[in-house]
Structure 1
Amino acid sequence: MQPYVLVMEDEDALATLLQYNLEKEGYQVVVAGDGEEGLVQVDERLPDLILLDWMLPKVSGIEVCRRVRGRPETRNVPIIMLTARGEETDRVRGLDTGADDYLTKPFSMTELIARIRAVLRRIRPGLADDRVGHGDIVIDRVAHRVKRAGKEVHLGPTEFRLLDYFMQHPGRVFSREQLLDAVWGSDVYVEARTVDVHVGRLRKALNLPDTQDPIRTVRSAGYALDLEG
């Protein structure tokens, strides 16, 4: 089941970026450009989570949050506020109004995805895929553990995020640049060669005795998690 995320954001470029990245992570996404349209969308279909910009036209983000929290049928919908307002008093006001989390612009997509998963896991655990399996590899996001063929595999934080991303898209080939954006974030400068180093570490950790190499290298294209042989 794909969680449905309603994005209320009036900045077109950011809204497009949010929709692209969330859909890439497997979420269903609808974008509303102002608070009034967002409330209409909430009435039409109850979202599993709302990404809510503070400074929305027509109806402000704070007012949207207040109205959503004030109705019995929507009061339990998770809300993450996105805003350029970074003052502590603004954060407190947003949380007091009923937001479950708060992210100040600019933010990395990696952090946003992590916050969404955390909120869904806490509030709607049935929608958060805490355990993902592919072939004989199982990743547990809550315990931050990986097993292969029933044996514990010890990974560093970056290798864990790499594997997590591969596990969400088994068989798909990703370029170094795509992996950099997804795992390190588009706002962090890291050389493409760094991807090779971490993929090498991940491959070494996963290559247990009598197991198939799970990482496929595609020349001039990138890498894929592929256990189909």
Structure 2
Amino acid sequence: MDRSYILLVEDEDNIALALEILLKRAGYEVHRIKTGAQALPNIRARRPALVLLDVTLPEASGYDICQQLHMDEDFSGIPVLLMTARATPVERRKALALGADAVLTKPFEIEDLLAEVTRLAPLHAPQATLQDQEAVRGN
């Protein structure tokens, strides 16, 4: 898995373009697809560090894709950030129950998106804590 590779599944061109530019500027490599049916084949072909997934898509919903990823042992470790225009608590709980690691309600703040992306797919390995370093040295 490439830490910097994000699969963006978004059918709205203007939203997808803005997200792609933003994520590339943040240092990520982004591959964008437009339909839910394209998601799983693309994930199989190249395992992403994160799937940034819209809920409302042609051919298969983001919920369906999220659930399939969550249920498949080969893909269950891939984080999913679900984007939805539906801001209800019920929709949020549904997304999390189906395996989403985070949910953003459209429209969202750029800072919120980048914070979630960085949390779910950090570009660099986390720094070892002082305790971890001391344990390695035998102190």
Matched, 1:10 2:11: yes
Contact 2:82/2:95, CA 8 A, preserved across alignment: yes
Q: TM-score of the superposition, structure 1-length normalised? A: 0.53
* Paired letter, 1:72: E
- In 2, are the aligned partners of 1:2 and 1:26 still within 8 Å (CA)? no
User: Which protein, 1 or 2, shows the higher relative CO under an 8 Å CA cutoff with sep ≥ 6?
Assistant: 2
2:114 matched to which residue of 1? 113
| Moved segments of 4+, more than 3 Å | 127-131
Could you list the runs of 5+ residues in structure 1 that have no partner in the other structure?
122-126, 132-229
Please give the root-mean-square deviation of Cα atoms over the aligned residues, in Å. 1.8
Q: Indicate whether 1:74 and 2:75 are aligned.
A: yes
Unaligned runs of 5+ in 2: 128-139
Q: So what's the TM-score if we normalise by structure 2?
A: 0.85
**Counterpart of 2:39?**
38
Map 1:62-141; keep pairs closer than 5 Å.
Answer: 62-120=63-121, 127-128=123-124
Going from structure 1 to structure 2, the CA distance change for 1:129 and 1:110 (only over 3 Å counts) comes to farther
Mapping of 1:1-229 within 5 angstroms?
3-120=4-121, 127-128=123-124
Bigger Rg over Cα: 1
Q: Deviations over 1:48-68 (max 9, x none)?
A: 100010111101100000111
Deviations 1:30-77 (A, max 9, x none): 001011112221111111100010111101100000111121111110
**Could you tell me whether the CA contact under 8 Å between 1:9 and 1:34 is conserved in 2?**
yes
Q: CA deviation at 1:119?
A: 2.1
What is the one-letter code of the residue matched to 2:93?
A: V
Q: Give, as a single letter, the amino acid of the residue that structure 2 aligns with 1:114.
A: A
